Amino acid sequence: MEIKDLQERMLKLSTKIAAIERDNSSLNLQMEQLKRMLKEDRRHIAQLIEAARKQSDET
């Protein structure tokens, strides 16, 4: 391979790596958002269970 071919190949690989890094960053953000949503859902479920227990104790 000539130097020019290697340079072109390196540029293409660098572009692919940059795209993968962007995708990874986006996926990490989505994962963090889903973790927060899950945490909120768990908290809400715990509140519902507690409310149901209190209601059950009152009857």
pTM of the model: 0.69
What's the rounded Cα separation, in Å, for the pair 14 and 18? 6
Average pLDDT on 14-43 reads: 98
pLDDT (average), residues 15-40:
98
Q: Domain residues of the chain, as ranges? A: 1-59
Mean pLDDT, residues 15-28 taken together: 98
3-state SS record for 10-59:
HHHHHHHHHHHHHHHHHHHHHHHHHHHHHHHHHHHHHHHHHHHHHHHHHC
Given a cut of 90, whether residue 12 has pLDDT beyond it is yes
pLDDT at residue 1 tops 80? no
In the chain, % of residues over pLDDT 70: 100
